[in-house]
Each structure stands twice: as structure tokens, then as C-alpha cells.
Amino acid sequence: MNLPAIWAIYKFEMARFFRSILQSFVSPVISTSLYFVVFGAAIGSRIDQVEGVSYGAFIVPGLIMLSVMTQAISNASFGIYFPKFIGTIYELLSAPVNFLEIVLGFVGAAATKALFIGVVILGTAAFFVDLQILHPVSMVIFLLLTCVSFSLLGFIIGIWARNFEQLQLVPLLVVTPLVFLGGSFYSISMLPPAWQTVAYFNPVVYLVSGFRWSFFGLADVPIAVSLLAIAGFTAICLAAVWWIFKTGWRIRT
């Protein structure tokens, strides 16, 4: 294992984050506050409770997931796309590192940033609503796995993208709709039966449901199914990354 290489990549990626630490910190705080004003205060005043939990508190796990997923994807995809774009990827390709080391460096950094933002949102939310966390261990596991798996997905998107438009395409056209329709702001049981069936094809539903269960003990799907879904998703992403490096797809000529 080339540990210095993993550390070098990780530090390099984190340096980008620290250069803009203020934005990294302030923007999730502001956006979370806005969500609470709009959903919590304006809409939430009309929706009293969801399954015994105040609406303001109910949306917290979904809000965290929403930001963590989008941040993980955008950080990881940019992290690997930028060296491709400016040509510095030659150094990674000619260095004595294997795919696992490159992934650990890039994905590790992207996951760290996403985790940081998740924690900031959790902290901000605590100012607005009373939060309880019934299953903290499960909450941490779900949060970590989501950070890692969506960073892996972002990494794949970054390698796949040939230009900046493509870099934005998948997050915009696929991930954002899935996240918004994934029960971040509502319970699946609130949907008409037909749409409930459709919702179960959305992988994000399982993540949000499991994560929400960790807070309130409420879930749309059994917790074991949620865990299986996130583990399966992580495994698929890992396999895809492994294949990319084995074949050199879009990185080695």
C-alpha cells in the first residue's frame, strides 16, 4: 500500500476545501436555514405532525441526506475531472499507485467534505427544532456510507465526463430528482398508492428512510432493507471504479 500517495492526494483535495472554508461552512448553514423557514415554518405550520413527529424535525434527516448526496457527488466528480481537464492527471497515471489508492485519496477527501457539511446541517437544525436521535450508531453508519457511496458515484461521473456540461448533467437530471422524490420532505405513505409503488424503485427512498429511522424510529421500509440497499449501492460503485481502472476507460489511452 502506497500510504504516502493516499495521504498526498487526500491532503491536496482537502486543501481545495480549506481554501474556501468560509463558503463551505456558510452556504450549508444558509440553505438549511432557508429550508426551515420555507418548509418548517410556512408549510410546516399547516402540516402539524407526520407520524407523531413535528414536521420541522421530520425533514431534518432528509435535508442532511439531500446536501450530503449532492455535495459528495459534486466534490468527487470535480476532484477527478479537473486533473483530466488541465492535464495534471499524467502524474497520477505515471505514479506507482493502484486504483484503490487513488480512490481512497479522492473519495476519502470528498466523503470527508460531505460529512463535514452533514454535521454542520445537523448542528444548524438543532437551533430550529428539538432533535432526538434514537439510534446514534445506525445514524453514523448511514451517514458515513452515504458520504462514501455518493462520493464513489461522483468519482465515476468525473471520469466519465468529457466536458463541464456532462459533469453537471447527471447530478442535475438524475440525482436531484431522485433525492427530491426520495421522501426527503415527506413520508412515502403520504403518496397515493400508485406513486408509492413507483417510489420503491427510487434507491434514495431506502437511504432517507433508514436515516430517518435512526432519528425517530420511523421508516418507510424495513431498516434491514435500507442497510442492504446502501451496502449494495456502495458495492456496485466500487465494482464500477475497479473496472474503470482495469480497462483504463477514459483515463489511459
Partner 1 sequence: MPTVEIRDVRKRYDGGFEALKGVSLDIEEGEILALLGPNGAGKTTLISAICGITRITDGSIRVGGHDVVTEFREARSLVGLVPQEMNLEPFQTVIAGVRFSRGLFGKRPDETLIERILRRLSLWDKRNAKVMELSGGMKRRVLIAKALAHEPRVLFLDEPTAGVDVELRRDMWDTVAELKRDGVTIILTTHYIEEAEAIADRVGVINKGEILLVEDKASLMTRMGQKELTIELTDPIDRVPPALSDYDLRLSEDGGSLTYRYDTGADRTGIGRLMGLLVEAGCQVRDVHTAQNSLEDIFVGLVARQEEESAA
d(CA 229, CA 201): 11
Q: Which is nearer to partner 1, 20 or 45 (CB)?
A: 20
Q: How far is the CB of 49 from partner 1 (least distance, A)?
A: 49
Q: How far is the CB of 101 from partner 1 (least distance, A)?
A: 9
Q: Which is nearer to partner 1, 98 or 197 (CB)?
A: 98
Instruction: Please identify which residue in the block is written with the cell numbers 432533535.
Output: 131
Q: How far is the CB of 186 from partner 1 (least distance, A)?
A: 42
d(CA 37, CA 47): 14
Contact positions vs partner 1 (CB under 8 A): 2-5, 7-9, 11-12, 15-16, 19, 83, 86-88, 90-98, 248, 252-253
Q: Which of 144, 164, 123, 121 minimizes the C-alpha distance to 35? A: 121
Q: Which is nearer to partner 1, 18 or 127 (CB)?
A: 18
Q: Which is nearer to partner 1, 51 or 91 (CB)?
A: 91
Strand partners, 49: 54
d(CA 187, CA 185): 7
Q: How far is the CB of 72 from partner 1 (least distance, A)?
A: 22
Q: Which residues contact 163 (CB under 8 A, 6 or more apart)?
A: none
